[in-house]
Structure 1
């Protein structure tokens, strides 16, 4: 998917998105999963909604200084994360009619535009909701899409319950899971073969984002499995869009020069909870010879709050 093409298609004067528009934007964002790890499904909805608001804003591109970071031993850092995860209390099982709430801060690389979004997704996935600028809550029905690889929170909970907690068995399971090999179906999904290590990194990253339903022993196994994937790197001192300094995890991606851009999953250095999914441009990023994003530009989906609530509009 050409992200710049998507941005050009969205106008600053676009009307408030209806259910069909939000669903299509969400699908387009999720198709990037073939080569990149992503945040939880509700965060992708937030990115899509934010794009309608901020795309193609006529303002100078805002950049920030590329931060200095410290390279850590990935195996040691991820083992520390696993031990922290093992100490967590198991989350309670939400009811199908409860809602997963997320407040995010989105940053657009072309303009530096920063937009906060509050999103809710029903645990069974039948509806999503968002807070309008006037404070009212907009609820949207979600039709089932069997060709999509994204799942509602309840669907992720079922997937997680099936996963082994031995790191080696976990890696074998996720690399052979047909759900992540065959889906999504449709425009933009066929991007060529994906090697097992890349698939494992992508899928485990998706699972790590499901914090509301994550069993502690499985979370620990995910961190230990990530340590076994070649190329996984951990850096200390990566700052998210909210100014929080954490540990940034990334892995070189096919077709992307890691000296030009890096897509981090940023963790809290104490709790090892996910703080953000953030791409930092270390050099000017060119498309067809033209500068698309300047050095220091950031694309970020930063988590400011999350939890399970009873109704859309509720905040934990």
Structure 2
């Protein structure tokens, strides 16, 4: 294998989406970063936070990133994505079928977040009741806070309760081609959440299919094995999917970095979805800036080349009550 050639190719600039896509994606990422700075109360499943963030949120970086030194880029080797995804499908197909949770059970998650402007790694624990009626978290004083009974999430919003999410997931076919058609034609994913004052846009089918499949794979706890295998096979059918070895998440775990080379101009960053190299379970995300990112109102880069934003999913399980960790 020509590893130097692979590294040179990896470092080449990748296409950037047009202006009609960059603006909304920047706003989505800004919302995600702001969420990381406050305790979660109402949001049970934020699509932008789990699978749609693809661009940098400029205002969140301004005060600190001007003097931030770039982080070192990991040494990576590109792999044959078709071979890797075929193997991932085999492994997934051999898993045991999970039990469908009861409406009154809770989905517990523990995540790490290391943003590019800070050396601090933030830990977040959250409990979402399976029927979407309550959420729980630890406040700044270490006390468990449980939200009161609420109405279910708005059916027209971009959020889904765990129960509604799983019901939608289980409607998907296990044939890879039919699965892609179902996802790309699903009005929920086409419509998504709408931000007031932002023109409504519809992303290309391949972009939406990749985004939604990676979202599903990041919430693997209740997915039937045959469907998970179909997800990997469908991913292999999407143009531009690349896989590299040697990417680390916020917990320092090394895995397989999945990303998509999209047609269009040049993007300043690359976002990886990191999978465990043995189990192919989702580990976290890693966004690497491939060049300095500028803002017209500033004389220094907002984010410097080599900066890294990493997350890690440490736990994702069903428990009987808030505060329980499985």
**TM-score, structure 1 length as denominator?**
0.81
**Cross-structure match for 1:215:** 224
**Structure 1: gaps of 5 or more residues:** 38-51
Offset at residue 286 of structure 1 (A): 2.2
**Cross-structure match for 1:203:** 212
Compare 145-154 and 242-251 and name the one that shifted more: 145-154
Q: Name which of 313, 316, 319 aligns with 1:309.
A: 319
Q: Do the aligned partners of residues 235 and 6 (structure 1) sit closer, same or farther apart at CA in structure 2, a change above 3 Å counting? A: closer
Q: Do the aligned partners of residues 188 and 265 (structure 1) sit closer, same or farther apart at CA in structure 2, a change above 3 Å counting? A: farther
CA RMSD between the two structures: 3.4
Give me the whole-angstrom Cα distance separating, in 2, the residues matched to 1:274 and 1:201. 15
**Cross-structure match for 1:278:** 286
Q: Name which of 111, 119, 131 aligns with 2:138.
A: 131
Q: Do the aligned partners of residues 189 and 216 (structure 1) sit closer, same or farther apart at CA in structure 2, a change above 3 Å counting? A: farther
Q: Do the aligned partners of residues 276 and 190 (structure 1) sit closer, same or farther apart at CA in structure 2, a change above 3 Å counting? A: farther
Is this contact kept in 2: 1:106–1:114, CA < 8 A? yes
Is this contact kept in 2: 1:63–1:112, CA < 8 A? no
Offset at residue 212 of structure 1 (A): 1.4
Q: Do the aligned partners of residues 297 and 232 (structure 1) sit closer, same or farther apart at CA in structure 2, a change above 3 Å counting? A: same
Offset at residue 110 of structure 1 (A): 2.4
Give me the whole-angstrom Cα distance separating, in 2, the residues matched to 1:28 and 1:181. 12
**TM-score, structure 2 length as denominator?**
0.79
Offset at residue 256 of structure 1 (A): 7.0
Give me the whole-angstrom Cα distance separating, in 2, the residues matched to 1:62 and 1:106. 18
Offset at residue 274 of structure 1 (A): 0.2
Offset at residue 70 of structure 1 (A): 0.5
Offset at residue 90 of structure 1 (A): 0.6
Query: 1:51-89: CA deviations, max 9, x gaps?
Result: x9x997799635421012110111100011111101110
Give me the whole-angstrom Cα distance separating, in 2, the residues matched to 1:225 and 1:106. 29
Offset at residue 280 of structure 1 (A): 1.4
Offset at residue 294 of structure 1 (A): 2.0
